[in-house]
Amino acid sequence: MTIAATYLPVLALLPFVVGMVVAFLPRHARNAAAALAGATALAGLLITVLSYGGVTEGAVLRQTWSWLPDLGLELTWRLDGLSWLFALLVTGIGALVVLYARYYMAAEDPVPRFFSYLLSFMGSMLGLVLSGNLIQLLFFWELTSLLSFLLIGYWHHNENARDGARMALTVTGFGGFLLLVGVLIVGHVVGSFDIDAVIAGRDALMASPLVTPAILCLLAGAFAKSAQFPLHFWLPHAMAAPTPVSAYLHSATMVKAGIYLMMRLWPVMAGNDTWYYVVSLAGLVTFLLGGIAATFQYDLKGILAYSTISHLGLITLLLGLSTPAAAVAAIFHTLNHATFKASLFMAAGVIDHETGTRDIRRLSGLLRHMPYTGTLAIVAAGAMGGVPLLNGFISKEMFLTETLAFHTGSLLDRLLPLIATVGSAFSVLYSVRFIHQVFFGPEATDLPRKPHEPVSWMRLPIELLVLICLVVGIIPNLSVGPLLRSAVVAVLGTEAPRFHLELWHGFTPAFMLSLVAMALGAGLYFALYRRLANRETRDRPWAGRVRARRIFDGAMTGLFAGAGFITRLAGTVRLQPQLFLIVLAAVVAGAAPFAYHAVTQAGAGLTLGTRPLTPVSLPFIVVWAFGIASAAGAAILAKFHRLAALILTGGAGLAVCLTFVWLSAPDLAVTQLLVEIVTTVLLLLGLRWLPARVATKEDLERSRAVVVARRGRDLVLALIAGGGMATLALAAMTRPRVGGIAEFFTANALEGGGGRNVVNVILVDFRGFDTMGEITVLAIVALTVFALLRRFRPAREVVGSTRQQRRQDAYDEARSDREVGDTARDYLFVPRIVMHLLFPVITLFAIHLFLRGHNAPGGGFAAGVAMATAFIIQYMARGTRWVEERLRVLPLIWIGTGLLVAAFTGIGAWFFGRPFLTSAHDHLHVPLIGEVSLASASLFDLGVFALVIGATVLMLIALAHQTIRSARTGPSAQDLEGATSAPSPAAAEPAVKLGEAGGD
């Protein structure tokens, strides 16, 4: 029975979905989390097993989702024999690891988080092997790195875990980056990222001069992931992860991702010289060094980690040899290694769990206490060492056979059998050591805990894996023969060599080598026994591990120091030089093309055009005389006379506003005017908290010459920038307008957008997405303003009443017929009544602006600002307390509603099969009112309207509230002293919790 390819995405995405669900389980819900995770893994296993029929003899299951068709990128889910084998490992071992982890993790660990990570990792790994194109593969590749980081650092209170996690992420992330480069090169040469296309494009790739860099980059990625020398050093540090993670990620699956990639690309790359030398040599060195390093480890997991490195090196070496038979051996060993190494890690975890230590020198004679687990571990370690009747033996034999075969006749090729035998001897050595030191010998005396057998559920995964080791080791051809065949055909094509897995090949040369390796390993063990069993030995004869770590740390320190140095050298945290340089760069960039033109085409620099000037009217000149004077005044007064500067800025703004009216931009004029009002109010509110600036002694003492020079310099730059802009504007305005997209917008506004106001239709319809982003910015700014003001501590000089308030209060106090506060209450009495009565008028005006917006100047933004003005005027007229006793403004609700309305209007288009924010409109005839035009864009505009009200009001109110807060914290002298050093608790509390109001 075959499951259709439609289920492939489910296979990859289901773990992510369940992982999300698990993440929200309560902290102690470990049974529920484990059950969900286990069910997901089993479901994945089921889908994998059922889809086997679709991947035999080179058949491929494919499912394509359109992703970025314009870039030729699609989400392709592709399952063939090779990826099937990996999917089987990921789901099968995944299920076992989940079961194991349920009993391994302590009750106090936040287990749902663990299973959530684990499931997401499972999904990433499945996504990786199911990816039909390289970009997609890369995406999941990076996800596995990230989740590995999270899983290694799961016990983040532990420093080793944090360091190990960071190192793993740095190394694999670095590899991932190079992989990206490699993939881009391959995609560039082949013209497609699709894996089948890349395989088909082998000849083009091999002929390209880019083939060597491509191979090197791809290999760097694969080596970093699969812990190949010299990028192997992160793996031992990753052992700080919980043992189920080590068993799953760092032996059975994730580290095999690099191997998978090399297998995937094998048909493309194998046979290339670079590939042959780099892959074989890296594999060989890793195989040998890993074996030697594993020998001298004292930590059980350390032994297993280096052994994993060594075995990965073996697989890599086989892939590097580039012969079909070697590839078969590599695939087979991948499978075998996953089974015996996962079970060994689980056994090591059991030992750690039950005895309290992983130090092999303290453990001894454990077989007495845990005969069952001990036997299982011994069998698994036998498989690791390559003992006959176990799966490791068969693939090791295939490996040795391959090393004996003639490949290229190079020196490497000739030395291969010798080195392979020595490497195998070390693998025998550490396996023997693992078995002998842990399970045999005298009874251990000083174990932290009294050892005993674990619960049987914890043992079950080990039992199953060891059973597989035995079955594959005894009846290989019957058990995994067909599966292996499918995987091999997927890599090598239908001309793949016919192979027959057999336990006994007779006294072949390979078997002889195997015997030599075993004898050598056992002999070496007894020769080194004293040293290895000695607890006092501190030095490590093989310092490779230490050195790699040091180089890494040194490199990281160097990177940070270098970055810091460059930042100090080329950067500054000071605003003034930054702004100066930005303006200078803008001026240079603006002038450069003209200067270039003037030089190359003698004289044709920045010239004026011939378009006739628009006749000027006197009032316009008057407006601008006024505007220019205001701007200049503002510039001069901004330092010491802030209020005057603010008013003059408003004057300049008014000139701009009138210019908008004059130059046929009514929408801009309306918006500018309203924003001008709100900005001024906002700045006025802010001025209350900005102490007056007076010329201090320091100001006077400062060197006059320096100050003048600085100002002169800035003025020159300002004149150049301003003059440049003016000239540029004039040069553009004196040339005829070149047709652009404006004609399209004008022609389609009524037909396509259902509105007569072209500017408004552009904003809410044609360019609705921009507006969506813009209102989001506004909402974020409002929330940021609110957040910043929550903990706001004003300058100490302005805390308490203002001078005017004090004078008013003093006047009240001096009179017997007045109470304190009377004058303040009566202040501007008549205007206040008028302002109070303006509320409904402005509201009506705002609604009017909104409703006409689509067809006449106005629109949601202007209406929203107008409405906000109505609110703030009430605050000004009657005071914060009075308003809030009578009116509940919930700005956060307004913001949220607005954003949701706008977003859902956009999403609504999806239900009609259109892209986001596609608008629709219709004209209705309503009795009495007449023709009414209805456009979905108006609904979007309603969202803008609501959001702008909320955001503007939130900012204004947050500032206005500071007065109440300040009054409450009290202006007494002691408080003032205290406020400068530490804020009183009351000051830290916002006086009025707008956030709570928003929750209603």
Partner 1 sequence: MEIVVAIGIGVLATTGVYLILRPRTFQVIIGLSLLTYAVNLFILAMGRLVVDGAPLLTEGADPSTFADPVPQSLVLTSIVISFSMTALFLVVLLAARGITGTDHVDGDGMSA
Interface of this chain with partner 1, residues 602 to 641, rule: CB under 8 A: 611, 613-617, 620-621, 624, 627-628, 631-632, 634-635, 638-639
Shortest reach from residue 682's CB to partner 1, in Å: 6
Q: Using the rule CB under 8 A, is 109 a contact of partner 1?
A: no
Residue nearer to partner 1 on the CB measure, 456 or 617: 617
Beta bridge partners of 932: 924
H/E stretch holding 820 reads none
Residues 774-803 that bind partner 1 (CB under 8 A): 774-775, 777-778, 781-782, 784-785, 788-789, 792-796
Q: Using the rule CB under 8 A, is 693 a contact of partner 1?
A: yes
Q: Using the rule CB under 8 A, is 573 a contact of partner 1?
A: yes
Residue nearer to partner 1 on the CB measure, 306 or 861: 861
Token duo for residue 363:
């453990």
d(C-alpha 354, C-alpha 740), whole Å: 77
Residue nearer to partner 1 on the CB measure, 18 or 634: 634
Query: Angle at which helices 81-104 and 324-355 pack, to 10 degrees?
Result: 10
Residue nearer to partner 1 on the CB measure, 156 or 796: 796
Query: Angle at which helices 255-269 and 134-152 pack, to 10 degrees?
Result: 160
Q: Using the rule CB under 8 A, is 730 a contact of partner 1?
A: yes
Shortest reach from residue 38's CB to partner 1, in Å: 50
Residue nearer to partner 1 on the CB measure, 533 or 606: 606
Token duo for residue 402:
């391959």
Residue nearer to partner 1 on the CB measure, 523 or 723: 723
Cα 131 to chain centroid distance, Å, stands at 20
Provide the mask over 859-888, with x wherever binding to partner 1 is found by CB under 8 A and - wherever it is not: --x---------------------------
Choice from 106, 411, 695, 706 touching partner 1 (CB under 8 A): 706
Residues 653-682 that bind partner 1 (CB under 8 A): 653, 655-656, 659-660, 662-668, 671-672, 675, 678-679, 682
Choice from 580, 811, 839, 916 touching partner 1 (CB under 8 A): 580
Q: Using the rule CB under 8 A, is 583 a contact of partner 1?
A: yes
Shortest reach from residue 734's CB to partner 1, in Å: 6
Query: Which residue in 251, 247, 181 sits closest to 219, CA to CA?
Result: 181
Spell out the alpha helix ranges (H) of 51-158.
81-104, 111-130, 134-152
Cα 253 to chain centroid distance, Å, stands at 23
Residues 160-199 that bind partner 1 (CB under 8 A): none
Cα 865 to chain centroid distance, Å, stands at 36
> Are the beta carbons of 240 and 297 closer than 8 angstroms?
no
Residues 746-775 that bind partner 1 (CB under 8 A): 746-747, 749-750, 756-759, 762-763, 767, 770-771, 774-775
Tokens 């063939």 found at: 80
- How many positions of this chain bind partner 1 (CB under 8 A)? 117
Residue nearer to partner 1 on the CB measure, 1 or 741: 741
Handedness of CA 932, 937, 940, 946 (dihedral sign): negative
DSSP 29: -
Q: Using the rule CB under 8 A, is 707 a contact of partner 1?
A: yes
Q: How many CB atoms lie within 10 A of CB 349?
A: 25
Token duo for residue 236:
């031992």
Q: What angle do CA 987, 992, 994 make, to 5 degrees?
A: 125
d(C-alpha 484, C-alpha 498), whole Å: 11
Residue nearer to partner 1 on the CB measure, 185 or 892: 892
Residues 384-413 that bind partner 1 (CB under 8 A): none
Choice from 568, 702, 807, 923 touching partner 1 (CB under 8 A): 702
Q: Using the rule CB under 8 A, is 645 a contact of partner 1?
A: yes
Give every CB contact of residue 223 below 8 A, 6+ residues apart in sequence: 175, 229, 231, 258, 282, 316
Residue nearer to partner 1 on the CB measure, 688 or 818: 688
Residue nearer to partner 1 on the CB measure, 158 or 784: 784
Query: Which residue in 712, 727, 731, 722 sits closest to 628, CA to CA?
Result: 722
Shortest reach from residue 941's CB to partner 1, in Å: 13
DSSP 78: E
Shortest reach from residue 944's CB to partner 1, in Å: 10
Token duo for residue 194:
């699709």
Shortest reach from residue 879's CB to partner 1, in Å: 21
Residue nearer to partner 1 on the CB measure, 162 or 756: 756
Query: Which residue in 148, 103, 102 sits closest to 122, CA to CA?
Result: 148
> Are the beta carbons of 759 and 671 closer than 8 angstroms?
no
Q: Using the rule CB under 8 A, is 593 a contact of partner 1?
A: no
Residues 440-469 that bind partner 1 (CB under 8 A): none
Shortest reach from residue 747's CB to partner 1, in Å: 7
Q: Using the rule CB under 8 A, is 733 a contact of partner 1?
A: yes
Give every CB contact of residue 332 below 8 A, 6+ residues apart in sequence: 394, 395, 398, 480, 484, 501
Residues 112-141 that bind partner 1 (CB under 8 A): none
Choice from 271, 686, 831, 971 touching partner 1 (CB under 8 A): 686
Shortest reach from residue 668's CB to partner 1, in Å: 5
Q: How many CB atoms lie within 10 A of CB 437?
A: 23
> Are the beta carbons of 772 and 783 closer than 8 angstroms?
no
Burial category of 296 from C-beta neighbours within 10 Å (exposed 0-12, middle 13-18, buried 19 and up): buried
Residues 935-964 that bind partner 1 (CB under 8 A): 955, 959
Rg of the chain on CA atoms, in Å: 38
Residues 44-103 that bind partner 1 (CB under 8 A): none
Shortest reach from residue 845's CB to partner 1, in Å: 19
Token duo for residue 428:
């025998």
Choice from 115, 745, 850, 940 touching partner 1 (CB under 8 A): 745
